[in-house]
Amino acid sequence: MNCELARERIVTAAYHELSDEQAHELDRHLAGCAECQLERKHVEALRTLLDADPALEPPPNLVARARLRLEEALDALPPKRWYERWSQQIVNNFARLQGAPVAAVLLLVAGAGAGCLGEYEYAQSRAAHAASQPALVSPQPAAPELANVAGVSGIVRQPNSEIVDVTYTQLVPRQMEGSLDDPTIRQLLMLASENSTSPGIRDDSVGLLAAECRAGHSCQPSGIRDALMVALRYDKSPAVRLKALEGLEPYVAEDVRVRNAVLEALLNDGDARVRSAAIGLLEPVEADSSVRAVLYSVSNSDDNPQIRNVSREILSRVPEFQ
């Protein structure tokens, strides 16, 4: 055994995946090779460090999205012809049986060829049979399993109604209809507000969530309010951030976290419209010391003269900043 193969087996041995024969061969090599002994110590030390930090399970939504994208990528590939599958199967079988006698390999080739031809004929007959059968319509579930929802692809609010049609994706697109007060509809809307691939979906979902908060409906700190603050801080669309501000307006006075998110928008947002809207939301709490501090900073250093002037006007109505 050479050192290159031994180092490969050292890693495999660290995870207890070597057969007994391979493990004995590795032990014989290590007995006479100081470099490989040192390599094994390093690998074992690294494994100990990794075991000390438990592996995190990926979120169910991430797994669902990954499965969906993988299936979409596989569907986009052109289908292989029967002879391409046959040749690939032969290559794979040769790789697995490099040490087999010639007669066994010839038998394997003959069997693989017959099997692939039979598979081709069977697939053709199944396709013809499926084409002659009427399509089956699968029943729509009453509610989605949110842990398996990969994303939200469509939101439509029925005119003059509290009813919202939400199209979401698991392994296949599905649609659910329900009131804006429905907890499942709300969770789908919050999931849609994080949709990184569709600005339109995020705009619609954040707009509906903001309207719920402004209408005085249930908008608890952990839930819709959190989703709006995330949109305000991180969404790339100024229109979405403006809608998030509208939804957070009723809570600026009572919720310090909301107030801090609005102050961050005033200081850091790259869009002047968002900063102007943030100033308007802060007027009811202009006497708060942290609000005065931010307004004082903005009134002296903001690049936009209109924002500087508005900040100065607000400061003039409260006691002088100390």
Alpha helices by DSSP H, 53-152: 60-76, 82-96, 102-132
Residue 167 clears pLDDT 50, i.e. is over it:
yes
- Domain coordinates in residue numbering, the chain: 3-52, 60-127, 195-316
Q: Residue 163 in 3-state DSSP?
A: strand
Show Cβ contacts of residue 286 under 8 Å, excluding neighbours closer than 6 positions: 292, 295, 314, 315, 317, 318
The CATH number of the domain covering residues in 195-316: 1.25.10.10
CB 232 within 8 A of CB 265: yes
Task: Write the DSSP symbol of residue 162.
Answer: S
In sequence order, which residues have a C-beta less than 8 Å from that of residue 105 and are 6 or more positions away? 94, 97
pLDDT at 89: 65
Whether the CB-CB separation of 191 and 151 falls below 8 Å is answered with yes
The runs of H, that is alpha helices, within the chain are 3-14, 20-31, 34-52, 60-76, 82-96, 102-132, 183-192, 199-214, 224-234, 238-248, 256-268, 272-282, 289-301, 305-316
CA 76, 80, 81, 82: dihedral to nearest 10 degrees?
Answer: -140
Q: What is the pLDDT of residues 35-84, one digit of tens each?
A: 888 888 888 877 776 666 666 666 656 666 677 677 777 776 666 665 56
Mind listing the pLDDT tens digit for each residue in 215-274?
877 777 667 888 888 888 888 888 988 988 888 888 888 888 888 888 888 888 888 888
Tell me the whole-structure pTM to 2 decimals: 0.46
List all residues 6 or more positions away from 2 whose beta carbon is below 8 Å from its beta carbon: none
DSSP annotation of 287 reads T
Return the structure tokens found at 52.
Answer: 């000390």
Q: Which two tokens stand for residue 93?
A: 């079988």
Helix (H, G, I), strand (E, B) or coil at 291: helix
Instruction: Answer for the pair 108, 93: CB distance below 8 angstroms, yes or no.
Output: yes
Task: Find the helix or strand (DSSP H, E) in which 14 lies.
Answer: helix 3-14
Predicted confidence band at 282 (pLDDT cuts at 50, 70, 90)?
confident
Measure the CA–CA gap between 132 and 36, rounded to whole angstroms: 64
